[in-house]
Homo-oligomer: A and B are copies of this chain.
């Protein structure tokens, strides 16, 4: 029999430090698969965040440069402008990208910086222990939204991807999830599209991925996957949010 599924070349052998059932490692793998398939391992540079994925450089077998919390888009801008023929991606949690990193992300998109952002939306601050995130949905319990997130006290969750779609420099934006095999495959295709947009020089591309955090949601991994389907997607509907890659000519 032939091996039809195994560890991607771009993912190192180190065991993941994530909690059982965490979406981060699924997303890592899927990115690794895309890098392998596009044959870009040697020219790819990743920018890991502060967040549960802060150690991502232990897993991705590509060059990586750490960003401080929220500044991945700025670091990636510096990298990509200096090395325009490399493939640069940032990897960011919802707190990282949609709270402290709001300005950097929106402006990178607005400038049409030609890199790809993987935005892992797990609706909480995972690494720091489950505080409210900008994407925590109304009613959701976290350690800093006692009694559930309340509109007037805590504000609304922020639809960052929809805002980024308004920016003129963004080329491709899709929201996916990694809570089921089919959604995982869609995520992979979305990431591939985003990388391809970058390879064609079309500007800013982003994939927002709804990702389970069983630990902070206080659910089993299987429950967490269901909760994404049943609750989370109502607030963050899946699908392509912006795609102008068809209209645009390659830039070289």
Contacts and interface: CB of A to CB of B under 8 A. Distances in A.
A154 interface: yes
Interface in A51-97: none
B106 A102 contact: yes
A42 interface: no
Contacts of A110: 134, 155-158
A112 B152 CA distance: 7
A163 interface: yes
Interface stretch (A17-25, A164-172, A187-195, A216-224): A164-172
Contacts of A154: 111
A158 B106 contact: yes
A162 B156 contact: no
A159 B100 CA distance: 20
A99 interface: yes
A107 B163 contact: no
Interface string A164-185: 0011110000000000000000
A7 B107 CA distance: 40
B169 A166 contact: no
A62 to B, nearest CB: 26
Nearest to A165: B166
Contacts of A101: 103
Instruction: Please classify how large the interface on chain A is, using the bins under 10, 10 to 19, 20 to 34, 35 or more.
Output: 20 to 34
A37 interface: no
Interface in A86-136: 99-103, 106-107, 110-113, 134
A166 B163 contact: yes
Contacts of A250: none
A229 interface: no
Contact of A155 (B103, B107, B155): B107
Contact of A166 (B102, B112, B166, B168): B166
Contacts of A99: 103, 107
Contacts of A106: 102, 106, 158, 163
Nearest to A161: B166
A169 to B, nearest CB: 5
Given A102-B102, A102-B103, A155 B134 contact: no
Interface of A: 99-103, 106-107, 110-113, 134, 151-152, 154-159, 162-163, 166-169, 251
